[in-house]
Structure 1
């Protein structure tokens, strides 16, 4: 089983607007509403592929109830810690080929809520073989919370995938997660460098792999990915597509990586699956969704070479 962790979930509302007018009234149709947060995007894609998956994290208030009910209707197993404060909303405005996001910071988690999560998490570690933690850490648990979760997973011999940014990523990699998936901007912030060429990116990936994570996958959007797995460097190139919405594509890539790890795929097949899932999500208006019938076609068009 794969365990997904979404500490700061949300109701994601995706609006399509022909042209965004600043300081004016902008009208649009009904939003596409999703039980969101990066970890739940990952969860849905894994669930679509008939792999056992359990979602956990924190939920509170009416928004938390909406998310829980949404997951139940989709048949997704979940066990979230109920919190006193409300789960957040996040907005994505799609306009003129751009994507503008408005993200609430989320609730503050109390110490007793954090510790209850840890106790539940320890139990789930006995049931899973892969853990995926995605997204931000809400106020309360502290930026080293992922580091704590990774250490507990490592003690149980579980493979931990971390997809976060900023201080949460900086602290998390100190515990040696099995795999991380930053994007170009996140790796620049982490290493405090400006990357302007593929050679500089490769050097950055190698530097990052020396800081703690065993494996590193850098997602490059429509340009594919650069990865280092088991000390071998790989370049991934995907087929060109007409993007409908890139929201959730990085999370879908993580879902593919988690699925491949859970099923014991070799490095090239693992990277192809992750990149394929990211591309398939970009073809959809719904966040964290892929057309599973097109997986093999996209896998065949994905090139993975060792460097």
Structure 2
């Protein structure tokens, strides 16, 4: 079983408009509302890959109820810490080929709620084979909170994949106990290092040899249409993908984490792990919905992914 963690989930609301009128009334005929958050996207794709998964994190209020209802409706198991404060909405206004986003920050957790979730987390991962931690932390939790979750996972002998950014990722990498894998994109990678990381093999190899990455088994740097550059142990790989028709790139990184997790959970070889990760990422990009893939296209696009070991 894979445990997919989303500490600050949301209801993602999409408002499509022909034209966005400022300082005026905008009427919307069709509205899309889905349970959102990076870890929930991961879980949806894992479930579509027919792997056992359970979602956890923190939800509250009527918005939290809606998130749970959405997951239940898709038969995705979940066990959240319930709090009184309201979970957040994230609004995307789609207009004239652009996307304007209004993102609520979400609830502020108390110290006691933070402790309560760690206790729940420790119980949940007892029967887990793999843990994914995705996205940002809610307000009120310290930036080293993910480090505590990794410590608990180490104690239980569980592998952890972290897909976060900014200070919370930096804290994870500076901590004594390391995650099993991380998956930054090039922008997050550059932000982490404090300089623009060029997508050149020699530059990427040099950067990934930095001592901050010591002890991490897998580092997958996703590069959009250019595929990914990967460090596994002491080996380096370049992964290339075919040209595809992009419908909605949002959530493709989460789908990549999902495919990566599924293949690792099935104890597949390096090439299959990387090809599975890239394929689920691509398939998400080809769908309008976030965190959705067309499983019928999996083998076709899997065969087009190329994995090359770099000396």
Which bin holds the TM-score, normalised by the shorter protein? over 0.9
Corresponding position: 1:239 with 2:254: no
| Cα pair 1:2 1:53 within 8 Å, conserved | yes
- Output one character per residue of 1:273-304: Cα deviation in whole Å (capped at 9) or x when no partner: 11111110011111100001111111001111
Inter-CA distance 18–137: structure 2 relative to 1 (3 Å threshold): same
Of 209, 213, 228, which aligns to 2:231? 228
CA shift at 1:119, angstroms?
Answer: 1.2
Query: Normalization by structure 2: what TM-score?
Result: 0.93
Of 239, 264, 268, which aligns to 1:265? 268
Corresponding position: 1:158 with 2:161: no
Inter-CA distance 209–292: structure 2 relative to 1 (3 Å threshold): farther
Distance (Å, rounded) in 2 between the aligned partners of 1:294 and 1:97: 27
Instruction: Mark the runs of 5 or more structure 1 residues left unpaired by the alignment.
Output: none
SS of alignment partner, residue 301 of structure 2: helix
| Cα pair 1:129 1:262 within 8 Å, conserved | yes
Corresponding position: 1:217 with 2:220: yes
Distance (Å, rounded) in 2 between the aligned partners of 1:250 and 1:300: 20
Distance (Å, rounded) in 1 between the aligned partners of 2:245 and 2:23: 31
Of residues 70-79 and 209-218 in structure 1, the stretch that sits farther from structure 2 once superposed is: 209-218
Q: Mapping of 1:140-155 within 5 angstroms?
A: 140-155=140-155
Of 178, 195, 198, which aligns to 1:196? 198
Corresponding position: 1:285 with 2:285: no
Query: Normalization by structure 1: what TM-score?
Result: 0.94
- Output one character per residue of 1:210-237: Cα deviation in whole Å (capped at 9) or x when no partner: 3453210011111111111122111111
Instruction: Mark the runs of 5 or more structure 2 residues left unpaired by the alignment.
Output: none
Distance (Å, rounded) in 1 between the aligned partners of 2:287 and 2:227: 18
Distance (Å, rounded) in 1 between the aligned partners of 2:138 and 2:212: 27
- Output one character per residue of 1:107-149: Cα deviation in whole Å (capped at 9) or x when no partner: 1111221111111111122110100000000012211110110
| Cα pair 2:160 2:179 within 8 Å, conserved | yes
Distance (Å, rounded) in 1 between the aligned partners of 2:97 and 2:233: 38
| Cα pair 2:216 2:233 within 8 Å, conserved | no
Distance (Å, rounded) in 2 between the aligned partners of 1:97 and 1:28: 16
| Cα pair 2:46 2:262 within 8 Å, conserved | yes
Inter-CA distance 96–144: structure 2 relative to 1 (3 Å threshold): same
Corresponding position: 1:130 with 2:130: yes
Inter-CA distance 100–203: structure 2 relative to 1 (3 Å threshold): farther
CA shift at 1:268, angstroms?
Answer: 1.1
Residue of structure 1 equivalent to 2:63: 63
Inter-CA distance 197–59: structure 2 relative to 1 (3 Å threshold): closer
Of residues 15-24 and 159-168 in structure 1, the stretch that sits farther from structure 2 once superposed is: 15-24
CA shift at 1:34, angstroms?
Answer: 1.1
Corresponding position: 1:6 with 2:6: yes
Residue of structure 1 equivalent to 2:36: 36
Distance (Å, rounded) in 2 between the aligned partners of 1:301 and 1:223: 13
Residue of structure 1 equivalent to 2:112: 112
Distance (Å, rounded) in 1 between the aligned partners of 2:159 and 2:107: 28
Corresponding position: 1:294 with 2:284: no
Inter-CA distance 146–182: structure 2 relative to 1 (3 Å threshold): same
Distance (Å, rounded) in 2 between the aligned partners of 1:100 and 1:228: 35
Residue of structure 1 equivalent to 2:183: 181
When the two chains are superposed, the root-mean-square deviation of aligned CA atoms in Å is: 1.8
Distance (Å, rounded) in 1 between the aligned partners of 2:10 and 2:154: 28
| Cα pair 1:32 1:286 within 8 Å, conserved | no
Of residues 46-55 and 188-197 in structure 1, the stretch that sits farther from structure 2 once superposed is: 188-197
| Cα pair 1:46 1:259 within 8 Å, conserved | yes
